[in-house]
Amino acid sequence: MAEGLKEDYAVDGEGAKQPRQHPESKGSIVALPAEAEENHPAIESPEENALTAQSFEVAEGSAAPPSESEEGLSVPPPEMEEGSAAPPSESEEGLSAPPPEMEEGLSVPPPAQQRKSEELLFQEFIAQCESCDRCGLAAGRSNVVVWRGNIKAPLMIIGEGPGAEEDLQGKPFVGRSGQLLDQLLLAWDIREENFHICNIVKCRPPENRAPKPDEAENCRPLLTRQFNLVKPRVILLMGATAYKYFTHDNSGITKVRGKWIEKSGFWIMPTFHPAYILRDPRRKNDLWEDMGAARRKLTELKLLPELDT
């Protein structure tokens, strides 16, 4: 655990990492009903009350880590066809030719050449996003908000859409929601090279509203290409909107959060958006547990080392 977070997070008697209790933070924010997220977009507003990771606390007798049951949750992510047997490759339409650095007859490029090729492909993808005007959101954007983290990462975190601060900086999850997300990632020893953060739509919806179905559908090919380039194995869907548009399932987020969806070698978990936790801190333990479950899955798949206790 990072040195600077020791005052915010504690280790229990069995060596497990838990958020430290801060009794003074209880009751400081008016809580919403449990199902409120489905009617409150997760894009954070500048007017939201601030809440930091310091207010994370684990109630005595809190729920066990989420189950890995996938019963009833078999919807594939955008680019996965039914019956596909392996994670997608980069050979999507328009990307089937070998990278320029690969000599004829060379099946596997040297690591340096491969990294350069991946970076070039991703820069082409960025340019494609920046030139996109497939929906009305393009007219009101300051910046196209594509990603942050690592180009290749075992964990992909997908949110809803950019907020005001994200639109200004051109990066996802950089406002108060992003600060809370970063605290959680750091506490679970998920470093920048391990994750890739993006959104369902890459342009800010006006007045921080949720993306409309046609906006999400127009942006879907870009998300599909992004998924193929990053090649994650574990996917966290942050909030009801991300879950709905990624899986085409309208189930409420409170019903599906914390449950693994396994499909063709991918592990997908819906969870609450950090902005929802800012509004309803009663659910902060759920987000903590879900992030921990994602960390353990990455270890189980041998994509990250064991956590230090």
Cα(93)–Cα(96) distance, integer angstroms: 6
Whether 167 has a pLDDT exceeding 60, the answer reads yes
Residues 157 and 196: beta-carbon distance below 8 Å: yes
pLDDT at 52: 45
More confident position, 62 or 248 = 248
Residue 81 in tokens: 């066809």
CB atoms within 10 A of CB 32: 15
Mean pLDDT of all residues belonging to the chain: 77
pLDDT at 237: 98
Residue 118 in tokens: 């991946």
pLDDT tens-digit series, residues 102-151: 344 445 567 888 888 999 999 999 999 999 999 999 999 999 999 999 99
pTM check: above 0.75: no
The burial class, CB within 10 Å (0-12 / 13-18 / 19+), for 34 is exposed
Q: Which CATH class is domain 112-309?
A: alpha beta
